[in-house]
């Protein structure tokens, strides 16, 4: 059976965030492998991050993309930015995400920038507060984006009107 891609899958943009060469020492010598951290997004509030490991780089990238598509999340957006300030944590990684006025752009470094661009966020300020390990920083960014809630979602959870939430 031939593998077919949907039209929905083809609109995703893929980005290699980090590629790590790891080696294992065995009786016969060293075995080199590669670990690739990949991000996949549609630029409309959907983002996924995945890790792929393999003996060759293209295979690690392919596996990372598959893993990222399995771990897709939906991000709450308020125009071109995020609804509120949030801190995402994962392992030793801690990332501060702050909404910004239109025209600010993406003020972020490293893997955080790629994740925010693929999620479709245009105006935001971000800062890595602890670790600068790409794996933990990227996962902390995704955790932060996961915890965002817009006023409509909060009102629905609390069974009150949007005006009461904003007050």
Domain 7-73, second-level architecture: 2-Layer Sandwich (3.30)
Helices 134-146 and 110-119: angle between axes, nearest 10 degrees: 40
Convert the pLDDT of each residue in 82-139 to its tens digit: 999 999 999 999 999 999 999 999 999 888 999 999 999 999 999 999 888 999 999 9
> Taking CA 89 as the corner, what is the angle to CA 19 and CA 38, rounded to the nearest 5 degrees?
25
Convert the pLDDT of each residue in 24-46 to its tens digit: 999 999 999 999 999 999 989 99
Rounded Cα gap, residues 165 and 69, in angstroms = 34
Topology annotation, domain 74-155? Ribosomal Protein S5; domain 2 (3.30.230)
């Amino acid at each position: 059976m031939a593998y077919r891609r949907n039209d929905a899958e083809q609109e995703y943009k893929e980005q290699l965030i980090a590629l790590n060469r790891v080696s294992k020492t065995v009786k016969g010598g060293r075995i080199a492998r590669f670990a690739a951290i990949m991000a996949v997004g549609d630029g409309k509030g959907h983002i996924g991050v995945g890790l792929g490991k393999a003996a060759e780089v293209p295979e690690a990238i392919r596996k990372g993309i598959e893993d990222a598509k399995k771990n897709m999340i939906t991000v709450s957006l308020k125009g071109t930015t995020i609804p509120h300030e949030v801190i995402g944590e994962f392992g030793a990684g801690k990332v501060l995400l702050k909404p910004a006025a239109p025209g600010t752009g993406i003020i972020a470094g490293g893997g955080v920038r790629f994740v925010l661009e693929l999620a479709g966020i245009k105006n935001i300020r971000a800062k890595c507060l602890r670790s600068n390990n790409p794996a933990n920083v990227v996962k902390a960014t995704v955790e932060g984006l996961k915890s965002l809630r817009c006023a409509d979602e909060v009102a629905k959870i609390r069974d009150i009107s949007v005006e009461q939430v904003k007050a």
